[in-house]
């Protein structure tokens, strides 16, 4: 769970890093190997993106209640 803008920025950077890893891997791995190795990375990417969207969709007041 993201609680601050600083944590948001870290999560956004992590997403960019994961995307770069996948982009590079697509260029060097055969399709079957890429699919197998990318699956857990894509799941992690989805979770981080969901956390970002959850944080951005809430107001500061809503976050302080939790």
Position 63 pLDDT exceeds 70? no
Report d(CA 64, CA 38) in Å as an integer. Answer: 36
Residues 6+ apart with CB under 8 A from 14: 48
pLDDT in tens, 26-46: 999 999 999 999 999 999 999
Share of the chain above pLDDT 70, in %: 94
Residue bearing tokens 């209640």: 65
Q: Is 42 helix (H, G, I), strand (E, B) or coil?
A: helix
Quote the domain boundaries for residue 9. Answer: 5-65
* CB hemisphere CA count around 18 (13 angstroms): 19
Count of structural domains, the chain: 1
Residues 6+ apart with CB under 8 A from 37: 25, 29
pTM for this prediction = 0.84
* pLDDT for position 40: 98
* pLDDT for position 59: 85
């Amino acid at each position: 769970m993201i609680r601050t803008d600083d944590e948001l920025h870290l999560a956004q950077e992590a997403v960019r890093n994961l995307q770069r890893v996948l982009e590079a891997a697509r260029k060097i791995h055969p399709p079957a190997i890429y699919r197998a190795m990318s699956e857990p990375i894509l799941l992690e990417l989805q979770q981080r993106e969901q956390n970002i969207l959850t944080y951005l969709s809430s107001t500061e007041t809503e976050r302080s209640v939790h």
